Amino acid sequence: MKRKIFVGFCVVLIYLLGLFFLNVFPNNKYTVAKVIKTKVISKQSMTDRNGNQDSLTMQRLTLKLDNKGESIIHLDNSYSLSHVLDQRYQVGEKVRIRKYSGGQKKWQLIGTRRVDALWSLICFSLFCLLMFGTVFSLKLVGTTGLNCLVLYGLVQLYAGNIFKNLTVLTFFATGVMVAIMLFVLTRNRQMAIIAMIATLLSIASAYFIGTVTMYILKDKGLHFEEMAFLTRHYRDIFKAELLLGCLGAVMDVAVSIIASMTEIKQQKPNISNVELKEEGRKIGQSIMGPMNNVLLFSYVSGAIPTLIFYLRNNLAYVYTFKMFLSLEVMRALVGSIGIVLTVPITIRAFIFLRNKRG
């Protein structure tokens, strides 16, 4: 209990020190101001040919500058009903502004200052993690940071033309990330080895099935128009997405099965391989359904804004879903194949190493 109180005190202290430095030593690229008054000066309603309604509102902001000679300035801001490319400012918000060079130096509105809220969210997440277990939570944060560094290195190596084969690079990065997560977060080394073998074999098998299917069908039914802005070959990028996309779900299934089978083995030391295999199969069946649904909805949910945009502009349902969901469905299918393959691969790897160990 005393340890948790000490950890909580440290997090609160870090949070307060962070807020102090963020406000006392702000970014020199912009100036922070506070909205003290807003006034709507015009409002225009618009309707397009498809009957979609929107409005464009102009508001005048009265801002109080922080630590500047000019204490009060006035700026105009326009925003639409959807707030996609703009936003409405309210009294009490802090905004970022800067001077731009022209005939006269005038203030330009950049956007809301969100660094305080972001820092608060980070510290709150850290506080919640540490309250559930100090050592494990620190390992979790550390592995997340290391995996981010691995992904950053992957992008830099490929974008900088240092290593041009993205598939090999992604395979290597996947292996490194799996090793980092399993060997750092899992205390049982044998369990980590089994989970790593099962995860990598399942991902490789699902990737092989997906890419061979794409090759045989010559990408029929897949529409890569949303990747047209890329300056690299779209298939290489998409295949890398297939690899990384099913990593988390596959590893989660593998670790869950291994942990459950290890517990069963400890409770029933004399259990036969056939019985252990059947127990593992039952565990896998209970996991596969929910994980497949999670994977599918995770991918499809990312396409919802695009779907709404095109459907609201009277594009046909079949055309819209075919054009903007084909890649998401393909990612979900490859991930689901990986999850299904993980169950028998994990069970066989566990039993094989168990027999080898004796």
Longest dimension (CA), the chain: 87
Report pLDDT for 209: 92
Are residues 194 and 353 in contact, defined by beta-carbon separation less than 8 angstroms?
yes
Residue range 110-149, pLDDT digits in tens: 888 888 888 888 888 888 877 776 677 777 778 888 989 9
Taking the C-alpha atoms of residue 254 and residue 238, their distance in angstroms, rounded to an integer, is: 25
Collapsing DSSP to helix, strand or coil, 40 comes out as strand
Lowest mean pLDDT among 67-71, 74-78, 104-108: 67-71
Sort 103 into a burial class: Cβ within 10 Å, 0-12 / 13-18 / 19+.
exposed
Residue that has been written with the tokens 């869950």 in this structure: 256
Taking the C-alpha atoms of residue 121 and residue 210, their distance in angstroms, rounded to an integer, is: 38
Q: Say how many Å lie between the first and final Cα of the chain, rounded.
A: 42
Length of the chain: 358
Collapsing DSSP to helix, strand or coil, 297 comes out as helix
pTM of this structure: 0.76
Taking the C-alpha atoms of residue 129 and residue 125, their distance in angstroms, rounded to an integer, is: 6
Residue 101 pLDDT level (bands cut at 50, 70, 90)? low
- Residue 193's contacts (CB-CB under 8 Å, 6 or more residues apart) are 353
Q: Pseudo-torsion of CA 248, 179, 163, 206, nearest 10°? A: -40
Residue 357 pLDDT level (bands cut at 50, 70, 90)? low
Compare 318 and 27 and report the one with higher pLDDT: 318
Tell me the two tokens of residue 346: 């994990």
Report pLDDT for 68: 55
> Nearest Cα to 247, choosing from 142, 344, 175, 169?
175
In the predicted structure, residue 237 carries a pLDDT above the cut 60: yes
Report pLDDT for 26: 64
What's the chain's Rg over C-alpha atoms?
27
Lowest mean pLDDT among 107-121, 126-140, 180-194, 254-268: 126-140
Q: Pseudo-torsion of CA 175, 180, 186, 189, nearest 10°? A: 60
DSSP 30: S
Amino acid occupying residue 79:
Y
Report pLDDT for 328: 86
Report pLDDT for 226: 76
Report pLDDT for 205: 92
Task: List Cα–Cα distances, 196 to 69, 245, 259, in angstroms.
Answer: 61, 17, 13
In the predicted structure, residue 274 carries a pLDDT above the cut 60: yes
Amino acid occupying residue 144:
T
Are residues 280 and 346 in contact, defined by beta-carbon separation less than 8 angstroms?
yes
Report pLDDT for 345: 92
Are residues 31 and 68 in contact, defined by beta-carbon separation less than 8 angstroms?
yes
Percentage of residues in the chain with pLDDT exceeding 70? 94
Residue range 309-328, pLDDT digits in tens: 788 777 888 888 888 888 88
Residue 201 pLDDT level (bands cut at 50, 70, 90)? very high
Report pLDDT for 27: 65
Collapsing DSSP to helix, strand or coil, 55 comes out as strand
Taking the C-alpha atoms of residue 282 and residue 201, their distance in angstroms, rounded to an integer, is: 21
Taking the C-alpha atoms of residue 358 and residue 99, their distance in angstroms, rounded to an integer, is: 73
Report pLDDT for 149: 92
Taking residues 151-160, report their average pLDDT: 87
Residue 203 pLDDT level (bands cut at 50, 70, 90)? very high
Q: Could you tell me how far CA 230 lies from the centroid of its own chain?
A: 20
